Amino acid sequence: TTVADRLRTDRPVFSVEFMPPRDEADEALLWRAVRELEGMDPAFVSVTYGAGGSSRDRTIRTTGRMATETTLVPMAHLTAVDHSVAELRNVIGWYAAHGIRNVLALRGDPPGDPNGPWVQHPQGLNYAYELVELLRSLGDFCVGVAAFPYGHPAAADAEADIDNLLRKFDAGADFAICQLFFEPEDFLRFRDRVAARGCDKLLIPGIMPLTTPKMLAKTVELSGAPLPDRLAARLQPLAEDAKAFRAEGIDVITETSRRLLAEGVTDLHFYTFNRSKATREVVGRLGLVPARA
Ligand code: FAD
């Protein structure tokens, strides 16, 4: 089954992102979260791809296990960082051999300092659209790419970054998952700007459950945008009260999600950090759980 198949639905769904486990304890946590979410039938589950060798092996193994041991539809992230084209072909071939049909094609961040300068592998690729082309040339993959509601930090400007997104779609990408944002209107305006360029591909919003001040800081870091005053006023006074912060953060994310669904968004992609509780709570409040007989 492909992600595109799973997203061809007339009622909204959710999907989740996991990270490769760092050690055995982490692996146990991850698989607990996987099992807890499995019954809620997410549209797909993705596993991020790290900068180093062993974490990459764990991404590959974890995705393979999801494909063979669960009812979930897995999607493997893959990046061009530190890979020759021959190595990329190997990884892609392994995915194909293990029944993984969905890949999120990314350039990846430079190892070490994610905001440092990009360095292309001498036998590697320079941009994500080239990885999309490679995947397309190697098999019948369903390919996703990254999109940036506030623009990618290295892009010349916001329009040039949309040019790049369109280049990735032209290369054969089926859908894009968006980097974190704070206000639903920010995502919706971005979606309008992409649509205004004549593109009707699916843009999936990325959702971070704001359960702790750390997750909030992570959202500021990843989105590349400052925390809006409106949300600062709601969340920052609760920074010392873990329980109150969590409750308010879940409220914020539920409201954001409701607004997106009201505007016709058909999939919400949750960053889980290998925990399922917050996602289950928000998804339950939104009523997205498929009513299984
Ligand atoms: P690209 O699309 O290649 O774009 C990179 C930059 O180059 C952009 O500024 C773009 O505007 C510019 N550009 C592209 N083409 C051209 C061109 N022809 N001429 C001039 N400029 C051009 N990172 C990981 O390491 N592992 C992960 O698993 C991972 N998962 C992610 C999941 C999501 C949903 C998102 C949004 C990001 C993820 N990232 C991950 C981070 C991502 O790899 C970085 O943000 C990276 O810096 C950009 O990747 P990209 O695929 O968008 O790159």
Torsion of CA 57, 58, 64, 65, to 10 degrees: 150
Residue partners of 162: CB distance under 8 A and separation at least 6: 193, 194, 197
Q: Give bridge partners of residue 204 from the DSSP assignment.
A: 177
- How does pLDDT run across 182-207, given as a tens digit for each residue? 999 999 999 999 999 999 999 999 99
- Ligand 1 centroid–CA 81 distance in Å is 11
Query: Which atom of ligand 1 lies nearest, measured to the CA of 179?
Result: 36
Residue 106 binned pLDDT confidence (cut-offs 50, 70, 90): very high
- How does pLDDT run across 192-247, given as a tens digit for each residue? 999 999 999 999 999 999 999 999 999 999 999 999 999 999 999 999 999 999 99
Mean pLDDT score across all residues of the chain: 94
- As for ligand 1, residues whose beta carbon falls within 6 Å of it are 48-49, 77, 79, 106-109, 127-128, 146, 152, 154-155, 160-161, 164, 168, 177, 179, 206
Query: Which atom of ligand 1 lies nearest, measured to the CA of 152?
Result: 9
CB atoms within 10 A of CB 157: 9
Q: pTM of this prediction?
A: 0.96
17 is catalytic: yes
User: In this model, does residue 293 exceed pLDDT 50?
Assistant: no
User: In this model, does residue 53 exceed pLDDT 90?
Assistant: no
Residue partners of 204: CB distance under 8 A and separation at least 6: 7, 15, 175, 176, 177, 178, 265, 267, 268, 269
- Closest listed residue to residue 74, CA positions, set 36, 103, 37, 31: 103
Residue 10 binned pLDDT confidence (cut-offs 50, 70, 90): confident
ipTM rounded to 2 decimals: 0.98
